[in-house]
Amino acid sequence: MIKPHGSDELNPLFVYDPSENEALQKEAESLPSVLVSSATAANAVMLGGGYFNPLTGYMNKADALSVARDMKTTSGLFWPTPVLNLLHDAQGVKAGDRIALKDPNVEGNPVLAVMDVEAVEEFTDDEIQEITQNVYRPSPDEAHPGVDAFVAQGKVALSGPIQVLNFSYFQTEFPDTFRTAVEIRNEIAERGWKKVVAFQTRNPMHLAHEELCHMAMDRLGCDGLVIHMLLGKLKPGDIPAPVRDAAIRKMVELYFPENSAMVTGYGFDMLYAGPKEGVLHAVFRQNMGATHFIIGRDHAGVGDHYGAFDAQKIFEEEVPEGALEIEIFKADHTAYSKKLNKVVMMSEAPDHTKDDFVLLSGTKVREMLGNGIAPPKEFSRPEVAKILMDYYESLKK
């Protein structure tokens, strides 16, 4: 199986030993505590599950700035985006303290992790701006939800190793879907898959997405597909995770051969960082055991901040050769061809005009679903459309 990023073995930071976990829970009761941001909590979940291998905790200021500028830590580890624990003020925490990190997303704010604080540092306004410009690369003409969410966390960084005690709300709310990188690696091995392609989604999968996965599997000679959906915080208007989950499971059940696809999810808040987030997504997938990863049009983008294929170009132009072992499957926009009566990559149909494809905007599809109208069968499987129509109908009640 493909090696994890940066190490020979996966090193999840979750404390799996029950007695050790219980002892840490008890110790945490007497430790100073900090209520962290949703993004910091999501980072803890990803560290706990092995997705952020080989990191041992939250980055310090020097590493965060180095990663933002050059996609590597001060020690030379390739890494695409800062992984931080940001606060508005230090709340009395100082270097050398051992503290409990409390979960903002679960009622009662239980302890999510125990942290050994190595440094307490404050970013200047210029440094925060440098990180946002280098990581998010926002267009100056449009607000960027990822930048807004990052800036809202504060400028004080607590850095140091953590021990993760639970997986926040993800394991309880999505017991059939949430999986750690450790669990996915184990299941890939159990299924006997050797070549595995991963597909990232934060939306339900329409026919074009489904066919793109089939194309990637066929062209790469893969024996397994991992559909890996984001279960964390999204932007307003995005379809909730349980609805996406039901729609995707129905599609796999009906239209994929047995033992060819896994439906899984991970607990992370979307950054909407376009190309840099595309690279981060590749790191996740290598750590969970995928050998290939589909990067399509406007991957992890938002609004008009990025070019359609910037998330593919970054692997050619900025990711150093050998930095990652996972390989990228570059996908163009896929759509149903009326001429060929099948879904194709649009770039592979040069004799087509726009009118030869079935193209519907997201706004138009949402409007149809909201009015109880199923999109055409060339756009969406009817069984998937039914689940989405039921969801939109429930919003009216």
Report the alpha-carbon distance of residue 270 to residue 146 in Å, rounded: 8
Residue in 203, 217, 290, 205 with CA at minimum distance from that of residue 260: 217
- Report CA dihedral (314, 316, 319, 320) to the nearest 10 degrees: -160
User: 3-state DSSP call for residue 322?
Assistant: coil
Residue 65 CB coordination number (10 Å): 18
Cis peptide before 54 (omega within 30 of 0): yes
Are 32 and 114 in contact by the 8 Å Cβ rule? The answer is no
- Contact by Cβ (8 Å): 330, 295: yes
Listed in sequence order, the residues at least 6 apart from 193 whose beta carbon sits closer than 8 Å to its beta carbon are 222, 223, 224
Residues that are catalytic: 202-203
Q: Which amino acid is at 3?
A: K
